[in-house]
Amino acid sequence: MAVFTGAGVAIVTPFNADESINYDKLDELIDYHCKNGTDSIIICGTTGESATMTEEEHMECVKFAIDRARGRIPVIAGTGSNCTRTAVEMSKEAVEYGADGLLLVTPYYNKATQAGLIAHYSAVAKEAKAPIIMYSVASRTGCNIEPATVAELVKSVDNIVGIKEASGNISQVAKIMSLTDGNIELYSGNDDQIVPLLSLGAKGVISVLSNVAPKETHDICEKFFAGDVAGSAALQLKAIPLCEKLFCEVNPIPVKKALKLMGMDCGPLRMPLTELTPGHTEKLRQAMKDFGIKLA
C-alpha cells in the first residue's frame, strides 16, 4: 500500500520576524491542508528551507507536524543529508516520532557514484524502519539517480518503496517504470508534469503548487484516478502559468510570497534566499488571480 496517493504538499516553514520557526502559523497551515484536500504533508523538504535549519530545529519541526496532523493525513519527513550518518540518525528519530514515511534527497555537494547511492540509501533503510521515498533532483544536488540504480534499490531493499522524480526527464521516468515493472511508488516532483507522470503509473505529486491551491492539485490526481483524464489534463494545463510563476525565482521564494498575497503571511526567508522582486511579484499576483485564487 502506498504511503499516499494524490497530492502531497511540500509545505513551507513559517518563520517569525527573528527567523525562529513560527509554530502557531505552522499549526494553521497543517490544519488548512487537512481541511482542503491535501493528501499528505511533506515536512522539512526543499520548500521548507530545511537546508538552513539546525538539526535540532529540523527534528522539532518534524515532530510538531506529526503531532499536529494527529493521523488525519500522512506525514512524510524530509530527512536526507549529504552525510549518510546524519541521514541515518535523523531518519531513525523521525520514525520514533511516528513519521508515516521518509523523503531522502540524494547526497549534495560531495555527491556520490551510483554505487555510493546504493550504499547510502541501503544504510539508511537498514536503520530506519519506515517506507522510504528517494528524491532525485539533480538540478539542485548535482547527483542523478539512474533508472538502473532505482530499480536495484526498490527490488533489493524492502522499505525503499518509491521515488520523487524531479529530473524533468520523462524518458528517464519511463525507464524507471519499465525496469521496476511499475512496482514502485512514483511521485512527480514537478507541478507542471503531474498528468504525464500519472499516465506512466505515478501515485501522485509532491507539490509546491499545493501550498496555494491544495484542492485543485488534489483534483488533478483525483480526476485522473477516476478515469476523467480529460478533466485532469484541463486542470493541469490551467495551472501551467501559475506553476511557471511559482518557479520564476528559486523555490520557495515565490510560494512564500504567494501565501502572503493570500493573507497567509509565513514570515521571512532565511538567507541566502531573498524576497521576490517587485516585477515578479506582480506577475505572480496576476497568475494567481487568473487561476482563481482569492487574494487578501
Name the burial class of residue 283, with classes exposed (0-12), middle (13-18) and buried (19+) by CB atoms within 10 angstroms of its CB.
Answer: middle
Distances (CA, A) of 171 to 84, 176, 185: 29, 9, 17
> Which residue carries 549534495 as its cell?
108
Contact call for residues 194 and 220 (beta carbons, < 8 A): yes
Which residues have a catalytic role annotated? 135, 164
Contact call for residues 259 and 11 (beta carbons, < 8 A): no
* Separation CA 273–CA 275 (nearest Å): 7
Contact call for residues 154 and 128 (beta carbons, < 8 A): no
Instruction: Give the other-Cβ count within 10 Å of 140's Cβ.
Output: 15
